[in-house]
Amino acid sequence: MIKPTQAISNDMGQLAEEARALIAATADVAGDKVVEARKRLAAALESGREMYGRVRDKAVEGAKVADQTVRENPYQSIAIGVGVGALVGYLLARRCSRDRD
């Protein structure tokens, strides 16, 4: 689960770097449309940076709450994990047996 998240983060960082390079490369172009496009791109980059920060903060906060809940209720957490695992196993077994028929 961490690898896809890391890949997305790397891709977003690379996209932001490319956008910054585009802004820098068009700095000497003075056309009205180019100036407006650069402003919109800069605003989108800033908005994306803020959104990424908020999402990251929420994810960290959620992980801390989940960790605290598991530490306070270890047996209930184990029971829920076993129950979910049994349900997923049952559904997969049904699907596999149906596929064989």
pLDDT tens string for the chain (101 positions)?
466 677 777 777 788 888 888 778 777 777 777 778 888 888 888 888 888 889 889 999 999 999 999 999 999 999 999 999 999 999 999 988 887 76
pTM greater than 0.95 (yes/no) = no
pLDDT for 78 equals 94
Task: State the angle between helix axes of 2-25 and 32-72 in degrees (0 to 180), rounded to the nearest 10.
Answer: 160
Question: CA 66 to CA 50: how far, in whole Å?
Answer: 24
pLDDT for 39 equals 83
pLDDT for 2 equals 61
Phi, psi of 51 (to 5 degrees): -65, -45
Return the exposure string of 25-58: e unless at least 16 CB atoms fall within 10 Å of the residue's CB, then b.
Answer: eeeeeeeeeeeeebeeeeeeeeeeeeeeeeeeee
pLDDT for 101 equals 63
SS3 for 101?
coil
77 and 69 Cβ atoms separated by less than 8 Å: yes
pLDDT for 36 equals 82
